[in-house]
Amino acid sequence: MGRKPSLTNWKPFFGPNFPVPPSIHQPAKQPANPNFSGKVGFHILPRIGEVALAHNGVLFFDELPHFQKRVLEALREPLQDRVVNISRVNSKISYDANFMFISAMNPCFCGNFLSKSSRCECSPKEIRRYKKRLSEPLLHRME
């Protein structure tokens, strides 16, 4: 069988706090905030979200722990099954979501943990709490 074409010509790249510069080959898209509905496709009427738009491409989340917990947990199914299922009262739809997921995060909230030039102001408890923003099931689906 042949390779399925992607739904659009551009691929989304995301960061919750600041724009990501566009790639030479693929234009970037920056959301206004790291909210839930637009990433996976959860709207009143089923619409394609950013995860499904990344089909056959790359989905990049910068500052991963700063995204809402429900956004991160909603990534578990597409990362495992390579599909986004959206169910509403009057409809049910599935979108292919075979994408490469890339994320970035600081080692602590201030970003200076392990730095040789700056001193980290975070306590060990704050560092653990920062890392706990990512659930074990989500981490198991990432390489």
Which pLDDT score is estimated for 126? 95
CATH class of 13-107: alpha beta
Indicate whether 136 pLDDT > 60. Answer: yes
- What pLDDT, in 10s, does the model give residues 1-49? 455 555 555 545 555 544 444 433 333 344 444 455 455 555 555 667 7
- In our burial notation (b when 16+ CB lie closer than 10 A, e otherwise), range 15-38 reads bbeeebeeeeeeebbbeeebebeb
Question: Where does the pLDDT of residue 83 fall: very low under 50, low under 70, confident under 90, or very high at 90 and above?
Answer: very high
Using DSSP bridges, classify how beta strands 92-96 and 83-87 pair: parallel, antiparallel or unpaired.
antiparallel
Q: Quote the percentage of the chain above a pLDDT of 70.
A: 67
Mean pLDDT of 78-107: 88
Residue with tokens 């992607």: 6
Task: Parse the chain into domains and list their residue ranges.
Answer: 13-107
Measured torsion, CA atoms of residues 35, 37, 41, 45, in degrees rounded to the nearest 10: -160
What is the DSSP secondary structure assignment for residue 70, as one 8-state letter?
H
